[in-house]
Amino acid sequence: MRKTLILSTAFLLIIVAGGFAVGNQPAESILITGGLLVDGSGSAGRRVDVRIQGSTISEVGILKPRPFERVIDAKGGVVAPGFIDLHNHSESGLLRDQTARSQTLQGITTLAVGPDGSSPFPIADYFERIEKSGAAVNVLSFVGHATLRRRVMGDDYKRSASDTEIRLMAEMVDQAMREGAIGLSTGLEYDLGHPSTTEEVIALARIAAKYKGIYMSHVRDEADLAMDAFREAIRIGREAGLPIQISHIKLGTVGVWGKAVEVVGLIDDARRKGVDVTADCYPYDAWASTITVLVPSRKHDDSAAVTRGLQDVGGGKNVLIASCSAHPEFVGKTLEEIAASSGTSPVEIYMRIVKDGGAGVVCRSMTESDIRTFYRQPWVMVASDGGIGMRHPRGTGTYPRVLGRFVRDWKWISLEEAVRKMTSLPASRAGLRDRGIIKKGMKADLVIFDQAQVIDRSTMTEPFVEPIGMDYVLVNGVAVIDGGKTTGMRPGIVVRHISR
């Protein structure tokens, strides 16, 4: 794509005055011309121009430049709404790196923190910190079940919560929702969430429902019991009366490989019965988590249980250590490699790591055909489950990967459908009424990318290699990526979901 900048005199003066724009004031008016507009609705791309006035899209159509207007030539490129990532782990990363470069380079303009049951709390304090430090992206937050469990139950969390404890947690959910959370998240597969009963989660989800929030679930089991876990998530949403988002839908063990069609049947059936279920799916056949999820029975020193756990994911060769504070020398190696070099077995290495405090792992245990089946469902959207500093390639590559591989190279879905899954679908999920579609009056969160070039380049062993193809990313009318380069601007806002 040609990247021609037509600079008006006024604009040059601003540059001379010492910056791309003064403060966080957006340029008065920007015209994006000559691109293929894929507006986020799913309808066919069309050759029209887009004008931005301040932080808002002011016109869409065949437009002529005005005097003193910045013109971005998008010829050869695709103009789309900024991508909205409902599952992002940048909670602390955003406080370190306000430019959120690894996120904006993928086209992400809005992200939600607090997934998997783990969130900031109080949400109001976090939002204030973000507003004080500024951010390149817009920020939303879930309130996390595990976070509240830890606050209320302390170290004594390996049991179901009492009625009093549930009441205390419910008050905290209520507070978080009033402070602007978009819903409740749980991570029922993790240590803190796992001991809870379904009823406990339903009680808390009811509070989120009161504020028109959603329930977002990292389900209790993504392995052999995945079907039951999806049923549980659906039950929680149905009984609590709120929309359900299944996080990073996947089938992660040998025993359930190939069952995506069955899962789709289950969810389609619930949807037909009026239950509002959707899901997101990251575009990788490997997950990242804590090492202990490999052994669902939690018998981490029982070699039979560990052997079974490793077999379920296809063996120790599929488990890569991504972080390990007790054994930094293991990082970047698989259990099989570590075992081979120390003359032991992957099972023994597993037990040693868990005994010494655990590790973060990347585990290659999903099949491409299941991922393709999920991606072809209209209720499946893209979310990264990544974030700033994430040692999994999805932290840097998710959106370019979908556009480059699933759309262009493998033709699983159309460009328009992929963009819808990245924009209007998550926007409607999050209750964002002024983002996710390009039309007059909407907020000017926009991306311009080269569909012939866009591609992820991050890998399991080199997770931080940046993608290519994202030429411009605008947040609230201000460029955070300009001609492929980070501008350092922080035009993002906190979006509080307050029920209307």
As given in the structure block, the two tokens for residue 399 are: 């959106």
Of 395, 378, 419, the residue nearest 83 (C-alpha):
419
CB of 466 to Zn ion, least distance (A): 24
**CB-CB neighbours of 274 under 10 Å:** 7
Whole-angstrom distance, CA of residue 347 vs CA of residue 136: 44
Q: Write the CB contacts of 223 (distance below 8 Å, at least 6 apart in sequence).
A: 252, 253, 255, 256, 296, 312
Segment lying near Zn ion (by CB under 5 A), choices 55-63, 109-117, 124-132, 371-379: 109-117
Residue nearer to Zn ion on the CB measure, 218 or 220: 218
Instruction: Give the binding range for Zn ion (CB under 5 A) out of 112-120, 315-323, 332-340, 469-477.
Output: 112-120
Quick one: 218 or 420, whose CB is closer to Zn ion?
218
Give min distance, CB of 370 to Zn ion, in A.
Answer: 17
Sign of CA dihedral 155, 161, 164, 170: positive
The residue of the chain with the least Cβ separation from Zn ion equals 218
Q: Report the nearest approach of Zn ion to the CB of residue 441 (Å).
A: 35
Pick 116 or 179: Cβ nearer Zn ion: 116
Q: Least distance from C-beta 352 to Zn ion, angstroms?
A: 26
Nearest-approach distance from CB 265 to Zn ion, in angstroms = 23
Nearer to Zn ion, 177 or 288 (CB): 288
Contact segment (CB under 5 A) with Zn ion among 108-116, 133-141, 388-396, 445-453 equals 108-116
Give me the least distance between CB of 281 and Zn ion, in Å please: 12
The window from 51-59, 110-118, 230-238, 375-383 that contacts Zn ion (CB under 5 A) reads: 110-118
Q: Which of residues 142 and 449 has its CB atom nearest to Zn ion in the complex?
A: 142
Q: Which is nearer to Zn ion, 49 or 189 (CB)?
A: 189
CA–CA gap between residue 173 and residue 152 (Å, rounded): 12
Least distance CB 253 / Zn ion (angstroms): 16
Contact flag: residue 250 with Zn ion (CB under 5 A):
no
Minimum Å gap between C-beta 362 and Zn ion is 13
Other C-beta atoms lying within 10 Å of the C-beta of residue 285: 16
Q: Which of 190, 150, 224 is nearest to 298 (CA)?
A: 190
Of residues 469 through 488, those in contact with Zn ion by CB under 5 A are: none
Please, which residue, 149 or 218, has the CB nearer to Zn ion? 218
Stretch of residues binding Zn ion (CB under 5 A), selected from 20-28, 111-119, 342-350, 439-447: 111-119
Q: Which is nearer to Zn ion, 28 or 222 (CB)?
A: 222
Beta strands per DSSP E along 294-405:
319-323, 360-364, 380-381
The CA distance from 473 to 100, in Å, is 12
Could you tell me if residue 70 is left (phi over 0), alpha (psi between -120 and 50 degrees) or otherwise beta? beta
Q: 416-445 mask for Zn ion (x: CB under 5 A)?
A: ------------------------------
Q: Please, which residue, 115 or 431, has the CB nearer to Zn ion?
A: 115
What is the distance of C-alpha 499 from the center of its chain?
A: 23
The contacts of residue 393 (CB under 8 Å, 6+ apart) are 284, 401, 456, 458, 459, 460, 463
CB–CB of 470/400 below 8 Å? yes
- CB nearer Zn ion, residue 37 or residue 295: 295
Please state the closest distance from residue 319 (CB atom) to Zn ion, in A: 17
Smallest separation, CB 359 to Zn ion (Å) = 17
Closest approach, Cβ 8 to Zn ion, in A, equals 47
Q: Which of 14, 13, 9 is nearest to 24 (CA)?
A: 14
- Residue 472 β-bridge partners: 448, 482
Task: Say how far apart CA 139 and CA 119 lie, in whole Å.
Answer: 13
What residues from 330 to 369 belong to the interface with Zn ion (CB under 5 A)?
none
Size of the site for Zn ion (CB under 5 A): 2
206-225: contacts with Zn ion (CB under 5 A): 218
Site residues for Zn ion, 116-135, by CB under 5 A, read 116
What is the Rg, in whole angstroms, of the alpha carbon atoms belonging to the chain?
Answer: 23
Q: Which one-letter DSSP state was computed for residue 283?
A: S
Of the two residues 101 and 250, which places its CB atom closer to Zn ion in the complex?
A: 250
Q: Binding to Zn ion (CB under 5 A): which residues in 150-209?
A: none
Which residue lies nearer to Zn ion by CB, 116 or 232?
A: 116
Q: Is 382 helix (H, G, I), strand (E, B) or coil?
A: coil
3-state helix, strand, coil in the chain (%, to 5): 35, 20, 45
* DSSP code of residue 407: I
Termini Cα distance of the chain: 42
Q: Least distance in Å: CB of 327 to Zn ion?
A: 24
Closest CB 183 distance from Zn ion, rounded Å:
15
Both tokens of 77, joined, read 């490129």
Cα 441 to Cα 425: distance, rounded to the nearest angstrom: 18
Helices (H), 188-334: 198-210, 226-240, 260-272, 303-312
> What residues between 375 and 414 interact with Zn ion by CB under 5 A?
none
Residue number with CB closer to Zn ion (70 or 218): 218
Structure tokens at 444: 């000017």
Q: Which residues in this chain contact Zn ion in the complex, by CB under 5 A?
A: 116, 218
